[in-house]
């Protein structure tokens, strides 16, 4: 690439974009071909002021194609502000639902580890010490920083002060974040020589990604394109998906090639495998039912957008078959 072209590209990347007021934001959306039929311009301005912010709301544009030529070149095809608003609300409900399910997964993962340690006669102190020793120096430093943050916590500070040097397993599990819990689970899978735990460990890593996205209020369904997954889907998950007769192999593979859909479906599978309480499961079913109803409420908005519509229909089939027994 010529040096001049490279310099030009770098200058374009570093162009300063001034902050727009809501009038400017709405005008910019109109310039991009976004219509205001379901939500008029004044309602849109109120929504952007009080309910959501421009950068987050417009991230869902990535699910829409643009005209490639003609008078409308560069403008979005069949995109209304109301569709962006609907997607943002669905995404919010999805984050809330996934966060709650991931809290349950975290709780029952701890229960499983404590039960296995007891059944196998593990020393509650030695297993934690061995895990810490197994870490690289950098990993160990980060782990201890995570634990030390609890020193002044009003929730875990008493546990930290009671065990200043050596942590028993039941305390250790209360002091580490979910990501570290997943790492510890993988360590235990090797220690216990448990193949099922090893498989579950890799699925828990996938759950961690979507859990963190939900907990940090990141957008989830703002990119539903195929072929974004970095890793293959677990065989266990694919095997269970294959039992849904109305989903062909091609559809299954295409939908699960999207990183976000892959992570959502994996979390739904792991939930069923780890959470054992009937009462907790029933609450999860109710949350899933409410989310599904909201996701499909305005499905007619997406009749001209196969990517959004078919992904919603796919998630509905998974929820129906795995959790709602439809």
From CA 5, how far away is CA 62, in angstroms rounded? Answer: 27
Q: Mind listing the pLDDT tens digit for each residue in 265-283? A: 999 999 999 999 999 999 9
From CA 267, how far away is CA 37, in angstroms rounded? Answer: 37
Beta carbons within 10 angstroms of residue 307's beta carbon: 16
287, 324 contact by CB (below 8 A):
no
Q: What is the pLDDT of residue 13?
A: 55
From CA 271, how far away is CA 251, in angstroms rounded? Answer: 23
Q: What is the pLDDT of residue 90?
A: 97
Those residues whose C-beta lies under 8 Å from the C-beta of residue 171, and which sit 6 or more positions away, are 159, 162, 163
Positions of the chain with pLDDT lower than 50, given as ranges: 326
pTM: 0.89
Cα Dmax for the chain: 73
3-state SS, residue 133: helix
Delimit the domains of the chain by residue range.
Answer: 17-86, 122-191
From CA 244, how far away is CA 169, in angstroms rounded? Answer: 40
Q: What is the pLDDT of residue 88?
A: 96
Those residues whose C-beta lies under 8 Å from the C-beta of residue 222, and which sit 6 or more positions away, are 59, 60, 62, 63, 87, 91
């Amino acid at each position: 690439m010529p040096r001049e072209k490279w310099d030009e590209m770098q200058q374009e990347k570093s162009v300063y974009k001034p902050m727009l007021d809501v009038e400017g934001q709405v005008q910019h959306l109109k310039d991009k071909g976004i219509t205001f039929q379901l939500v008029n311009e004044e309602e849109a301005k109120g929504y952007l002021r009080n309910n959501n912010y421009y950068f987050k709301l417009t991230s869902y544009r990535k699910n829409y194609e643009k005209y490639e030529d003609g008078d409308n070149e560069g403008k979005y095809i069949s995109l209304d502000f109301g569709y962006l608003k609907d997607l943002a609300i669905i995404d919010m409900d999805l984050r809330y639902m996934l966060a709650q399910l991931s809290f349950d997964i975290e709780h029952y993962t701890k229960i499983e580890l404590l039960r296995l340690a007891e059944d196998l006669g593990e020393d509650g102190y030695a297993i934690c010490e061995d895990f810490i020793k197994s870490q690289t120096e950098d990993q160990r430093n980060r782990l201890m920083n995570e634990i030390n943050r609890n020193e002044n916590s009003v929730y875990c500070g008493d546990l930290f002060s009671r065990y200043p040097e050596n942590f028993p397993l039941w305390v250790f599990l209360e002091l580490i974040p979910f990501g570290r819990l997943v790492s510890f689970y993988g360590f235990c899978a090797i220690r216990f020589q448990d193949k099922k735990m090893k498989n579950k460990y890799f699925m828990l890593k996938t759950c961690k990604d979507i859990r963190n996205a939900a907990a940090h209020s990141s957008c989830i369904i703002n990119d539903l394109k195929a072929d974004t997954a970095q890793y293959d889907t677990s065989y266990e998950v694919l095997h269970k998906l294959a039992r849904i007769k109305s989903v062909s192999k091609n559809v299954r593979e295409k939908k699960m090639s999207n990183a976000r859909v892959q992570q959502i479906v994996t979390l739904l599978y792991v939930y069923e495998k780890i959470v054992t309480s009937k009462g907790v499961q029933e609450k999860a079913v109710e949350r899933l039912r409410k989310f599904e109803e909201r996701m499909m409420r305005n499905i007619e908005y997406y009749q001209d957008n196969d990517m959004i519509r078919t992904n919603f229909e796919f998630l509905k089939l998974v929820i129906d078959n795995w959790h709602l027994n439809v």
